[in-house]
Amino acid sequence: MILFSYLIAIVSAIIVALFLGIPIVAERPWRRSWTLTVIFPTPIIAAGLLAASLKLGFKGFYNTLDLALVTGIISAFLVKYILERIFPKPPFHPG
């Protein structure tokens, strides 16, 4: 059931990120791209937030399924509006 919760967190993060207008993939060349995308780091942050909340003892109401959904939604908003303020682009980045 926990793996299903992780899957729900990742899928909900991807869907909400697409609705928020985050690009699916980064521009080329991918090695030097600092663009936040739907593929990375959105699902990784969703899984990490869910793991941290489960480790802290939060379970939610429906066997962690509701917690996974909320975590996915929060992680998409985090990537869209807050992440670049926490981790700015490097000074050598042309964009």
Query: What angle (nearest 5°) sits at the alpha carbon of residue 18, between those of residues 35 and 28?
Result: 30
Res. 17: pLDDT tops 80? yes
- The answer as to whether 61 is a domain residue is yes
* pLDDT digits 0-9 by tens, 26-74: 877 777 778 889 999 999 999 999 999 999 999 989 999 999 999 999 9
- In sequence order, the 6+-apart residues with CB closer than 8 A to the CB of 72 are 8, 9, 10, 11, 12, 13, 14, 15, 16, 46, 50
Q: Number of structural domains, the chain?
A: 1
- The answer as to whether 95 is a domain residue is no
- How many CA atoms within 13 Å lie on the side-chain side of 81? 8
- The answer as to whether 27 is a domain residue is no
- The answer as to whether 28 is a domain residue is no
Where is pLDDT greater, at 29 or 79?
Answer: 79
- Please compute the mean of the pLDDT values over residues 1-30 and round it to a whole number: 92
- Which pLDDT does position 94 carry in this prediction? 60
Count of Cβ atoms closer than 10 Å to residue 36 Cβ? 17
Find, among 88, 81, 89, 8, the residue nearest to 43 by Cα. Answer: 8
- The answer as to whether 93 is a domain residue is no
